[in-house]
Copies of this chain bind each other. A is one copy, B any other.
Amino acid sequence: MQKDFVMAFDPATLSYDVNGLIPAIAQAHDTGEVLMMAWMTAGAVARTLETGRVTYWSRSRQSFWVKGETSGHVQELVEMRIDCDRDCLLLLVRQVGPACHTNRRSCFYTAIRDGDEAEIMAPVEG
């Protein structure tokens, strides 16, 4: 008889803001590239750990947002890390396709160079 997976970790032990949200940074587990930052509720943290599929909370739609559910650009969770203040998460992920809705690998695609903002990453082809 297979034992059910027991989650000893309780997402309620994290610190959420007044809206019940915690910021979550997604980082490519292999290259170390920072891909995006989005928000999670305690429920989203639990779902992400249970399913292994990164699930944020959409503040605009006020609902769970399984990353890549429509685009196919999912994030498989490799490891969830917690910071010293317990008010921020770092998600090491296996990113399928580009992370950004603009079709770029990362959402951080402009940089301040010589005092001006410059695009440093083009959308992925196709």
Contact = CB atoms under 8 A, between A and B. Distances in A.
A116 interface: yes
A33 B32 contact: yes
Interface in A42-87: 49, 79-85
Interface residues of A, number: 39
A25 B49 contact: no
Q: How many copies does the complex hold?
A: 2
A98 B90 CA distance: 18
A85 B111 contact: no
A1 interface: no
Contacts of A82: 108, 110-112, 117
Given A37-B83, A84-B109, 9 more contacts: A9-B112, A23-B37, A25-B25, A80-B111, A82-B111, A82-B117, A84-B107, A88-B107, A88-B108
